[in-house]
Amino acid sequence: MAMETEVATTTPQLALSDTDINWDRLDKTRFHIIGAILFTAQSALLHPTAVVKTRMQVASSGLSNMKGVSVFTHILKSDGIPGIFRGFGTSAIGSMPGRVLALTSLEMSKDIVLKHTQGSDIPEASRIGLANGVAGMVSNLVSCVYFVPLDVICQRLMVQGLPGTSSCRGPFDVIRRVVHAEGFRGLYRGFGLTAVTQSPASALWWGSYGAAQHIIWRSLGYKDDMDMKPSHVEMVTVQATAGMVAGACSSVITTPIDTVKTRLQVMDNYGSGRPSVLKTTRTLLNEDGWWGFYRGFGPRFLNMSLYGTTMIVTYELIKRLSVRPSLSSFG
């Protein structure tokens, strides 16, 4: 019994406030440097599922009807390891400035909403969910300006060689071809669809994550004014669970939109005129019916569930590591 008591008292404990660290408590330079390193590592782990998903959404009916594992095996056999990492270099390097923009707007927006709703009659779970939701939407709208062209470039690199797509020598060749064919607006194919649809989806994800985490903590008996503090293991488990649920739900809602957006951004064989959402939707319906909108759902569901879990655990870890020493409750 004495041994158990000693182990329990040496388990790292954290204040409940450390489960939701706000912008004004962070060392911004450390936050972005650590974020760049850890998020790049996370992206490397999940990139193959994004390649499989994208190829299933864009490919002819033969490949699109294959299961995700079969498509993954097919890519490995035909292109080897480099095939499942097509576009990763461009994505990893290109994402860094956009990530700074996205994370800064996310945290600043959340902080503003939390401060303006403090002391209101809104229930705490709803207030946190609202702040996270608004922050997610603002962050998505701001970062779309940067990430949509990057998506166009990376996805074209992922699917090159498939029917209806062009073969390119690298990211700069993709840019040259797109700009030559359509001007700079070609790099923003799918921008309107992304901004209008993904921003509410981002609000849903962040809002549900913030509210779910708050509810889980309260259901476990934790409150801000209590001496009882969660351990590192408890904190990671709760945050991972909330992130996984948010990611899984989001994938179900957004896969049809993502399929249309992906095809709109990469396909070149729609005949005369610039591709549009209507043309892309009609072509998809003619090819596979309504089920066609869920092409690549398995890999996308896996990608978003894993992404939701790993992203939020990584993100919360980055924030804990970036708390200014004078404001940290660690140790």
> Which pLDDT score, from 0 to 100, does residue 30 have?
93
**Domains in the chain with CATH codes:** 26-323 (1.50.40.10)
pLDDT digits (tens, 9 = 90+) for 218-254: 888 877 655 677 788 888 899 998 988 787 777 777 7
Length of the chain: 331
Q: What are phi and psi of 13, to 5 degrees?
A: -115, 145
pLDDT at 33: 93
Distance from C-alpha of 310 to C-alpha of 224, rounded to nearest angstrom: 26
Give CA 127 to chain center in angstroms. 23
Residue 304 confidence (pLDDT) above 60: yes
Portion of the chain with pLDDT greater than 90, in percent: 14
Per-residue pLDDT reduced to its tens digit, 160-204: 767 666 677 788 888 888 888 888 888 888 788 778 777 878 888
Give the single-character DSSP code of 162: S
Angle formed at CA 308 by CA 304 and CA 314, multiple of 5 degrees: 135
> From residue 64, how far is each of 41, 51, 193, 274, 292 by CA, in Å?
29, 13, 22, 24, 9
| CA-CA-CA-CA dihedral for 8, 9, 13, 16, to nearest 10 | 90
pLDDT at 2: 43
Contact yes or no for 187/146 (Cβ under 8 A): no
Name the band, by pLDDT with cuts 50, 70 and 90, for residue 267. Answer: low
With 50 as the cut, is the pLDDT of residue 10 above it? Answer: no
Residue 108: the pLDDT is: 92
Nearest to 312 by CA among 247, 256, 263: 247
- Answer yes or no: is pLDDT of 12 > 50: no
Average pLDDT over residues 74-101: 88
What is d(CA 315, CA 203) in angstroms, rounded to the nearest whole number? Answer: 17
Structure tokens at 78: 């035909």
Per-residue pLDDT band at 328 (split at 50, 70, 90) = low
Closest CA to 92 of 131, 38, 17: 38
Tokens 């590592």 belong to which residue?
41
* Rounded distance between C-alpha atoms, residue 35 and residue 41, angstroms: 10
DSSP 86: T
Question: Cα(56)–Cα(76) distance, rounded to whole angstroms?
Answer: 15
Q: Which amino acid is present at 19?
A: T
Q: List all residues 6 or more positions away from 116 whose beta carbon is below 8 Å from its beta carbon.
A: none
Q: One-letter amino acid identity for 172?
A: F
Nearest to 96 by CA among 149, 168, 163, 147: 147
pTM, rounded to two decimals:
0.68
Indicate the residue type of 242.
A
